[in-house]
Amino acid sequence: MSQTTTQQLNDVDLAAVGALVGSIQADPSAAQTTWAAHVTWDRAFQSSSRVRTFSPVSSDEPAGLGGDDTAANPVEQLLGALGNCLAVGYAANATLAGIEIDALRIDVKGDVDLHVFLGLKEGHAGFSGISADVTLETSAPREEVDALHAKVLATSPVGHTLRTAVPVEVNLA
């Protein structure tokens, strides 16, 4: 990918990122943000989530789990969220470090034992483990790529959320 201006690398607008950093440095309370999704059940195992003003994102279960297989299921969407968050981290941090990305692919997978989900036993219903394989093509020296990788892992909001116990409160109205 070519650098179009001195203010842009990897298609990231450095001036916009710099302005955000500056506004948070000037007012640290601006760093505290709240994100939301609104989910509506459609039918059977199908639902859709709406975020801000974007088109709804559908969710369904594979046929083998009783769904109609019309969309990714929630655990697949969670894996996608991790991969997308890592991609943002690589793009942002590479750009700030002056590293040009030629190509980036992140393959994310995780294991879930369906016993608890299906009510066949008690225990942990979530992933027993998640792994992500990152393929980053760049001409940057390996030590810069390793530093970039460490920075991305240290700053990924979704990665941190999945690696640490986060309080989750679910209220029934």
Number of structural domains the chain divides into: 2
In CATH, what number is assigned to the domain containing residue 151? 3.30.300.20
Query: Do 79 and 55 share a domain, yes or no?
Result: no
Whether 116 is in a domain gets the answer: yes
Whether 6 is in a domain gets the answer: no
Whether 27 is in a domain gets the answer: no
Angle, in degrees to the nearest 10, between helices 74-96 and 14-26: 90
The answer, yes or no, to whether residue 138 has pLDDT greater than 50, is yes
88 and 11 in contact (C-beta within 8 Å)?
Answer: no
The C-alpha torsion from 155 through 161 and 162 to 166, rounded to 10°, is 150
Q: Which of 16, 49, 71 is the last residue of a domain?
A: 71
pLDDT tens profile 8-60: 789 998 888 889 999 999 999 999 999 999 999 999 999 999 999 999 999 99
Whether 93 is in a domain gets the answer: yes
Instruction: Return left, alpha or beta for 158; rule: phi > 0 is left, psi -120 to 50 is alpha, else beta.
Output: alpha
Q: Which of 53, 71, 89 is the last residue of a domain?
A: 71
Whether 77 is in a domain gets the answer: yes
Whole domain around residue 102: which residue ranges? Answer: 73-163
pLDDT tens profile 141-173: 999 999 999 999 999 999 999 999 899 999 999
Instruction: Return left, alpha or beta for 146; rule: phi > 0 is left, psi -120 to 50 is alpha, else beta.
Output: alpha
Question: What contacts 147, CB < 8 A, 6 or more positions away?
Answer: 97
